[in-house]
Amino acid sequence: MSNLSTMQKGKIASVLVIGGGIGGVQAALDLAESGYKVYLLDQRPAIGGTMAQLDKTFPTNDCSMCILAPKLVDAGRHQNIEIITMADVDSIEGEPGMFKVRVKKNPRFVDESKCTGCGSCWNNCPVRNMVQPDEKETVKPELEEKDLEKITELMGDNKDGRGTLVPLLQDINTEYGYLPQNIIRYVSTDLDIPLSQIYNIATFYKGFSLTPRGRYIISVCLGTACHVRGAPKILEALERDLGIKVGQTTSDLNFTLEAVRCVGCCGLAPVVTIGDDLYGKVTQVKIQKTIEKYKGREYAKAKT
Amino acid sequence: MAEYRMHLMLCAGTGCVSNRSLKIEESLEKELKKHKLEEEILIVRTGCNGFCAQGPIMVAHPGEIFYQMLTQKDIPHLVEEHFLKGRPVKELMYTPPEEKAPVPKMGDIGFFREQRLIALRNRGLIDPERIEEYIARGGYTGLAKALTSMRPDEIIKEIKDSGLRGRGGAGFPTGRKWEFTAKAEGEEKYIICNADEGDPGAFMDRSIVESDPHSVLEGMTIGARAIGAHHAYIYIRTEYPIAVERMRKAINQAKEYGLLGEDILGTGFRFDVTVHRGAGAFVCGEETSLIASLEGRSPEPRIRPPFPAQSGVWGMPTNINNVETWANVPEIINRGAGWYSQLGTDTSKGTKVFSLVGKVKNTGLIEVPMGITLRKIIYDIGGGILEDKKFKAIQTGGPSGGCIPEELLDLPIDYERLTEAGSIMGSGGMIVMDEGTCMVDVARYFVDFLRGESCGKCTSCREGLESMYQILTEICEGKGKESDVELLEELCAAIADGSMCALGGTASNPVLSTIRYFRNEYQSHIRDQECPAGVCRELIHYLIDREKCTGCLLCVKNCPSDAITGERKEPVNLNQEKCIKCGICFEVCKFKAVEVK
Ligand SMILES: Cc1cc2nc3c(=O)[nH]c(=O)nc-3n(C[C@H](O)[C@H](O)[C@H](O)COP(=O)(O)O)c2cc1C
Ligand code: FES
């Protein structure tokens, strides 16, 4: 904006707004109102962006379509705004006050000035009317013998009717330490639950992991009681010591480092659990020594 | 049952188990065998005693002698002296911080003296895995009374008269909730026990389920009778495996004894309970979200009404109460509403369980009458602040609560007064903070917690918390602006207004209460780039006090970044450029020669 003066001397009072989301539309409207000729460019077939898909706006909780729609209409009707959709910016040259922009307009195969939006083409489109193969996964993934046995057993335990998906996933997670992909897919087809629903659940709760985890899960409590007694420092010490960040697993698959919010032993804060063992009143130095013991244990096991 | 001369109540709560109390049990068994005492003395594994900081704990009856911080090495001596020769061992008893003489009797210890046990009435006295012991302490008499001599509406009236309010957070009168569900239309009615204790820094519900699961089951069965429900769910956090196991065991035992299942106590009433494990999401504690989770849907809260009392699990009328609420019910039925309502204040009756943690000397679980002052809790029960530092604030109510400063320590606690002070009763977490706790950091901590736990359904909660977190982080890093505090206040209002469930609705409390009482701390972060408590990493550095340093080189040995160098018996040098401010030197120094500035 330092070159405002050149702009004022400026030759052409026209502006190109790239992107026709709510921000672009508003900018175009404001500029057009102040008398500039505006080109509003969007890659997609229509302006409006993602705002139309949102339910509410922050922070007033107004309905977003109610805010957006009048602006779209205004932009469409405005004398000073020319909307260019299905277009990409190829190149920009020049300087503030005098830009030259090359725009590549992609074909739409519809003459917009003649189209009445009757929908007839949509209804008769051969591609759309082609019989699509059922997209649902009907082929059950092949499981290895031992996996199949395990999974059948777990599913048998959780078969008493409604609301059993979460407990089943929990059992799988405990059995394998995480949710292996082929098993989730197997469950999806066997129980006829969409894969997306399973992933929705698996990613919502912190109790599930989609990647393999280490032999020992180290959980550092970051609950309030532990926080005020210095838990963040304990976590950092472990990150330094193991060379991984929270949520990661060491490359030898020995340790996974996790942060949890309260394990219910707040009287012993700060608390760390390693596997099934719980350690209270830990310090940075103490926990590093404790970890050494576990490293040693694994080493001893590997040797025998 | 065989007669025993002595009972050793060994704590097997999670805290004590992690302090190896089961190893103590092994040693005790061995020693008792050695002295041929195994016929005379019985070891009982009890649930949590509440005084977790002193674990492992064992109480010897008769005499109620309280032994603490036991190690395996102590056992041979203890068995010989006390159990054989009858001389209690002073060295293993509890000595209050200010005093020299140990206090032998459990009831005389300050931590226990001020407490009044109703929900925790059996703690430390019974083996939670044996229903016989619960029954021997008067268990299931309330149920018998409710089933045989009371009509459902009489049960509801009794609970209403007692003034019992929900212990899960909002404090809704329990009797009225039952009445709604009882009157609601539906083929089938359900009961839920909310044991999804998500509040970080609180473990009341865990302790109740682990130390006395039958009290919860009994309460639920009474409630079921009053409401007309035949099925119940107990929703327990997955982080509490012992609680899940104990509850399952308790259900099976109750079924064997005819106290659950078909035809309870021969009255024809049928009731059955299922345990459901949570999967780790704070928002699941919210009732509508909990129900969604139970049904296997993604646990997002929904708009109320309809309330669960009208449409809950599987669309049927559902009554949901917290663990502690249920545990109170049998005693109220047993002893009457009049007895219960004597305790407490005008609006809040009875007792409340708190988890007193943070920077107090005696941390643990306490049950106190409503109306007790915070000062009494912190100084008489809690024994004062750790290392005799200066008290700064007490945080109640978890992430939805606020921080209460020293000026309000004489506040008698009940639901209304805590709300007036800008906090809430919540489920009962009480975290004590001293001068070494930074209030801006605490506010940031809670916002960070909520940011991670927000289910993301409401934009204001999802995006607003994110923005607040960024602003607070900038303040903690010394990059804050003067206008930030106002902006935070504005955001708080917007988030509270625009959120559907109480997670967002109360998310502003930690921020607003710290601004209200500790505005000067925000200002020193913003104006002077200083963290008075010495917590915020970007604003502090560590210094070596050369007078105090003895050159023991412990810090040199432990420093992870080789920032400290020095010779033996000479004061060490700290290179600020290399220092990563991990604080290990501060932690290991025995001479307090490391300072935070
Ligand atoms: C975000 C959020 C978390 C909650 N977490 C819990 C919880 O962990 N335990 C609980 O008993 N109630 C919790 N509640 C309160 C429940 O929604 C519900 O009010 C309570 O279980 C009712 O029981 P009561 O009447 O016995 O208090 C939570 C509420 C909210 C909004
Ligand atoms: S806060 Fe760490 S165990 Fe509760």
Tell me the mean pLDDT in the region A112-139.
Answer: 68
Task: Give the residue ranges of DSSP H helices in A39-139.
Answer: 64-77, 120-124, 126-129
DSSP secondary structure string for all residues of B558-570? H-TT--EE--TTS
Q: How many residues does chain A have?
A: 304
Q: How many residues does chain B have?
A: 597
B243 and B308 share one domain: yes
B373 domain residue, yes or no: yes
B459 and B417 share one domain: no
Q: How far, in Å, are B154, B158, B180, B318, B338 from residue B161 at the CA level? A: 10, 5, 16, 22, 8
Q: Which amino acid is located at B267 in the chain?
A: T
Last residue of a domain, one of B434, B463, B489: B434
A278 Cβ below 6 A of ligand 2: no
A271 Cβ below 6 A of ligand 2: yes
Which residues from chain B sit within 8 angstroms of residue A55, using beta carbons? 459
B534 domain residue, yes or no: no
Taking the centre of ligand 1 as the mean of its atom positions, its distance from the CA of residue B169, in whole angstroms, is 5
d(CA A16, CA A14): 7
Q: How far, in Å, are A250, A256, B502 from residue A300 at the CA level? A: 18, 19, 51
d(CA B469, CA B446): 9
- B211 Rama sector, left if φ>0, alpha if ψ -120 to 50, beta otherwise: alpha
d(CA B47, CA B16): 9
ω before A59 within 30° of 0 (cis)? yes
The ligand minimizing its distance to the Cα of B400 is 1
Ligand 2 atom showing the smallest separation from residue A270 Cα: 2
Position B488 scores a pLDDT of: 94
Ranking A7-16, A236-245, B18-27 by mean pLDDT, the lowest is A7-16
Kindly report the nearest CA distance between residue A218 and chain B, in angstroms.
14
Of all protein residues, the one whose alpha carbon is nearest to atom 1 of ligand 2 is: A223
B91 domain residue, yes or no: yes
Q: Which one of B11, B14, B233, B497 makes the best mutation probe of the A interface by having the most chain A beta carbons within 10 Å?
A: B14
Which of B282, B294, B588 lies nearest to residue A285, judging by beta carbons? B588
Indicate the helix (H) or strand (E) that contains A257: strand A255-260
Q: Residues of A numbered 278-297 whose beta carbons fall under 8 angstroms of chain B's beta carbons: which are they?
A: 278-280, 283-285
Position A131 scores a pLDDT of: 52
pLDDT at A299 over 60: no
Query: What pLDDT band is residue B298 in, cutting at 50, 70 and 90?
Result: confident
Taking the centre of ligand 1 as the mean of its atom positions, its distance from the CA of residue B165, in whole angstroms, is 12
B191 and B333 share one domain: yes
Query: What pLDDT band is residue A304 in, cutting at 50, 70 and 90?
Result: very low
Tell me the mean pLDDT in the region A30-58.
Answer: 88
Position A1 scores a pLDDT of: 41
CATH number, domain at B386? 3.10.20.600
d(CA B35, CA B41): 11
B168 Cβ below 6 A of ligand 1: yes
B555 domain residue, yes or no: yes
Of all protein residues, the one whose alpha carbon is nearest to atom 1 of ligand 1 is: B503
Position A163 scores a pLDDT of: 63
Task: Identify whether the C-beta of residue B391 lies closer than 8 Å to the C-beta of residue B378.
Answer: yes
* pLDDT tens digit sequence for B106-137: 888 888 988 999 999 998 889 999 999 999 99
Position A200 scores a pLDDT of: 82
CA B140 to centroid of chain Cα atoms: 26
ω before B56 within 30° of 0 (cis)? yes
Phi, psi of B306 (to 5 degrees): -70, 140
pLDDT at A119 over 80: no
B315 and B427 share one domain: no
B36 and B165 share one domain: no
| Residue A66 neighbours by CB distance under 10 Å | 9
- ipTM value: 0.87
pLDDT at B317 over 80: yes
DSSP secondary structure string for all residues of B338-392? HHHHTSB-SSSBSEEEEEEEESBSS-EEEEEETT-BHHIIIIIIS-SBGGG--EE
3-state secondary structure of A217: strand
B117 domain residue, yes or no: no
Position A82 scores a pLDDT of: 92
Which residues from chain B sit within 8 angstroms of residue A277, using beta carbons? 18
Q: Does A213 touch chain B (CB under 8 A)?
A: no
Contact yes or no for A280 and B19 at CB 8 A? yes
Last residue of a domain, one of B288, B318, B341: B341
The whole-chain average pLDDT of chain A stands at 83
pLDDT at B356 over 50: yes
Ligand 1 atom showing the smallest separation from residue B165 Cα: 25
Which of B53, B239, B278 lies nearest to residue A264, judging by beta carbons? B239
d(CA B470, CA B463): 11
| Residue A194 neighbours by CB distance under 10 Å | 11
d(CA A100, CA A92): 6
Task: Identify whether the C-beta of residue A103 lies closer than 8 Å to the C-beta of residue A90.
Answer: yes
- CA dihedral of B234, B235, B236, B238, whole degrees rounded to 10: 140
B592 domain residue, yes or no: yes
Taking the centre of ligand 2 as the mean of its atom positions, its distance from the CA of residue A123, in whole angstroms, is 61
Q: Which residue has the higher pLDDT, B280 or A235?
A: A235
Phi, psi of B322 (to 5 degrees): -80, 160
* Residue appearing with tokens 């469409």: A76
B194 Cβ below 6 A of ligand 1: yes
Query: What pLDDT band is residue A6 in, cutting at 50, 70 and 90?
Result: very low
* pLDDT tens digit sequence for B399-449: 889 999 999 999 999 999 999 998 998 888 999 999 999 999 999 999 999
Tell me the mean pLDDT in the region A55-83.
Answer: 86
d(CA B495, CA B80): 64
Q: How far, in Å, are A3, A90, B476 from residue A18 at the CA level? A: 21, 12, 37
| Residue B315 neighbours by CB distance under 10 Å | 14
Ranking A153-162, A244-253, B250-259 by mean pLDDT, the lowest is A153-162
Phi, psi of B294 (to 5 degrees): -60, -40
Within B160-305, strands assigned E span 190-195, 231-236, 261-264, 269-277
pLDDT at B142 over 80: yes
Return the ∠ at Cα B42 (arms to B38 and B47), rounded to 5°: 145
Contact yes or no for A224 and B395 at CB 8 A? yes
B227 domain residue, yes or no: yes
pTM: 0.80
Return the ∠ at Cα B331 (arms to B329 and B334), rounded to 5°: 110
pLDDT at B554 over 60: yes
d(CA B430, CA A225): 9
Of all protein residues, the one whose alpha carbon is nearest to atom 8 of ligand 1 is: B197
Contact yes or no for B53 and A267 at CB 8 A? yes
Contact yes or no for A55 and B299 at CB 8 A? no
Taking the centre of ligand 1 as the mean of its atom positions, its distance from the CA of residue A57, in whole angstroms, is 28
Smallest CA-to-CA distance from B351 within B326, B371, B365 is with B371
Position B14 scores a pLDDT of: 81
Half-sphere exposure of B368 (CA within 13 A, CB side): 28
B92 and B154 share one domain: no
Domain that holds residue B321: 131-341
d(CA B95, CA B93): 6
Which of A233, A267, A277 lies nearest to residue B583, judging by beta carbons? A233
Tell me the mean pLDDT in the region B577-585.
Answer: 91
B121 domain residue, yes or no: no
DSSP conformational letter for B302: -
B494 and B549 share one domain: no
Tokens of B570: 């000479």
Return the ∠ at Cα B583 (arms to B580 and B585), rounded to 5°: 105
B93 and B34 share one domain: yes
Task: Identify whether the C-beta of residue B239 lies closer than 8 Å to the C-beta of residue B197.
Answer: no
Query: What pLDDT band is residue A5 in, cutting at 50, 70 and 90?
Result: very low
d(CA B169, CA B162): 18
Q: Which amino acid is located at B580 in the chain?
A: I
Q: How far, in Å, are A290, B348, B427 from residue B194 at the CA level? A: 36, 21, 11
Return the ∠ at Cα A276 (arms to A271 and A281), rounded to 5°: 20
Q: How far, in Å, are A173, A231, A269 from residue A219 at the CA level? A: 16, 11, 13
Query: What pLDDT band is residue A220 in, cutting at 50, 70 and 90?
Result: very high
Q: Give the count of domains, chain B.
A: 5
Last residue of a domain, one of B286, B315, B341: B341
pLDDT at B171 over 60: yes
Tell me the mean pLDDT in the region B278-306.
Answer: 87
CATH number, domain at B94? 3.40.30.10
CATH number, domain at B585? 3.30.70.20
Kindly report the nearest CA distance between residue B280 and chain A, in angstroms.
5
Task: Identify whether the C-beta of residue A219 lies closer than 8 Å to the C-beta of residue A234.
Answer: no
Q: Which one of B237, B431, B465, B514 makes the best mutation probe of the A interface by having the most chain A beta carbons within 10 Å?
A: B431
pLDDT at A7 over 70: no
A260 Cβ below 6 A of ligand 2: no
Query: What pLDDT band is residue A240 in, cutting at 50, 70 and 90?
Result: very high
B265 and B359 share one domain: no
Contact yes or no for B431 and A228 at CB 8 A? yes
- CA dihedral of B175, B177, B182, B188, whole degrees rounded to 10: -140
B306 and B160 share one domain: yes
d(CA B50, CA B11): 10
Position A263 scores a pLDDT of: 86
Contact yes or no for A59 and B238 at CB 8 A? no
A266 Cβ below 6 A of ligand 2: yes
The whole-chain average pLDDT of chain B stands at 91
B316 and B429 share one domain: no
Q: How far, in Å, are A270, B95, B332, B507 from residue B219 at the CA level? A: 34, 38, 10, 32
Q: What string of H, E and C letters represents the secondary structure of B432-478? A: EEECCCCHHHHHHHHHHHHHHHCCCCCHHHHHHHHHHHHHHHHHHCC
B430 and B443 share one domain: no
Which residues from chain B sit within 8 angstroms of residue A169, using beta carbons? 279
Percent of chain B with pLDDT over 90: 65
Phi, psi of B130 (to 5 degrees): -125, 115
Q: Which amino acid is located at A212 in the chain?
A: P
3-state secondary structure of A284: helix
Query: What pLDDT band is residue A3 in, cutting at 50, 70 and 90?
Result: very low
Tell me the mean pLDDT in the region A70-96.
Answer: 90
Smallest CA-to-CA distance from A163 within B290, B302, B319, B261 is with B290
Query: What pLDDT band is residue B170 in, cutting at 50, 70 and 90?
Result: confident
